[in-house]
Structure 1
Amino acid sequence: MLASLLVMAWVVEARDPYTGGHLWRVSRYSALLAEAAGISGGALARIEIGGFLHDLGKIGIPDAILRKPDKLTDDEYAVIRTHPDVGARMLAGHPLAALVRPAVLHHHETPDGRCYPHGLAGDAIPLDGRLVGVCDAFDAMTSSRPYRKGMPIAQALDIIRSRLGSQFDRDFGAQFITLGEAGLLDHIAGHSDEAIPLQNCVMCGPTLVVRREAQAGDEVYCRSCGGEYHLEQGDDGRPHAVPTGRKGNPAALEPEADTDLISRVIQSAAARAPLEDMISANH
């Protein structure tokens, strides 16, 4: 049941070429922040899963908006703002809805009550939403988009610091800054999996996701421009993407869930607490 939700979330991510690794990064940031805040057991496991699933509702956003290479118009942004509610509706009736609904529905609420979907403020925002919201925003700031490069970590931390208590939960935001200043976020930023950095498309920037099981001789594709890359073994022992000058065919560009990564996310959460403890920790 849990795997099916994570697969849906991953497919959503795969539709947007500039969010490669976003769900994994937010899940990892969320787990680190929760641990730093003294959260453990079922609640920690629940937050780790919620971090991966927070953007589930983007499955209802049209590709023309989700994949747009320019800044969104006000009308398009209004459509994007529907994704928390869409995600919550998708979870309706699911046996695990209570486990992840707070992160899915509330990760864009802010302490000042000025954000969406319901304009909740302060402690009225569920804990999972407040915590995942910090991690989601940080990853958005430090990730590249077609119209801007990702910020350096220090700059993003300064923005969080300047908006504590307004855009970001004061306690979780301050703890996240402490993690960042200690260098404990560096191994996650710019990566799509543990110790696997995003690689650069010559046309689009850091959009190439190389999976853990990928080997020299495999091909990977830019989800933005469709460019094909051949993996060659680098001096560091890792496969490096080299452009072939060709475009991928429709079958090659079709998203395919990274079931290995999803299994590892589930195993990580399960190692913290059994599923029933995750659910009970939400009550």
Structure 2
Amino acid sequence: MGDVTRFDAVAEHERTRAALRAVVLRLVRLLGDVPDLEAASGVPVWTVGDVGAHLAGVHFAYSAGFTEGAVEWDALLPAGGGSFSERIAAVNATSIGLFGGEERTCIGEFIAERSEMFLRVTEGLPPDTPVDAPWLGLKPSLTLAAATGLMLSETLVHGLDIARGAGLPWTIGPDEASLVLGQSMPTMMPLGLDAEKARGVSLAFDLVIKGGPRLAVVVENGAATVTRDAPPRAYDCRITAEPVAFLLVSFRRMPVWKAITYGRMRAGGRRPWLAMRLGKLIDSP
């Protein structure tokens, strides 16, 4: 079965907080260097400015639950709750309209302010502190660890989208990617499961991130669970991947064939051909 990576939840959460603070500073510098906010970004139909506005919305949403009155999420989300994809699409559409025209030149300052506010008011709180996230359809909440990991993932990945559109450099380090995968994937992968495609499916994946977390991804009866440090069990397929490659493939920023061709991801175990099914069963965030 191989060794299982053990982790200290508190220490990893603190590293994630430090990484978020550092990546936001890099993002602010990147936004300040963007020559044209109307240029196409790495996200189809979104401009560089749209991606920046979306990121501002992300940092506002996560900090709002700790710093001010309740947001009227019912007015922003699809009637009846909607699917995971519908909720995300609705909030994304709202977020890019938060800043317009000349206001977009101040997006970096806003993100820095809201991110620092989030980090300040959550300092010293346990990683399992509840954080409301109605846009994800979670009842009652995320953990603080997952929320911090999600903020880091959004900043890293959308920083790449902005850089690609602006023709500027942007790096995602393996330690940063590993923190995202360990902190946020156990929450986000089950949420992104396509229940229709998963109907009648029974599969277990051993996801081994080099130098990072090891996750047991189990799809059973139209639901998924993702567990760190899972007890030994039989798996249908083992996926071994470099952290940055798996992050980019998960967010559809790198085609899986490219990660495989360059030796950054490989499948093994009893039924290695099932590795391709994981990406078809779980939508990107």
Q: TM-score, normalised by structure 1?
A: 0.27
Q: TM-score, normalised by structure 2?
A: 0.27
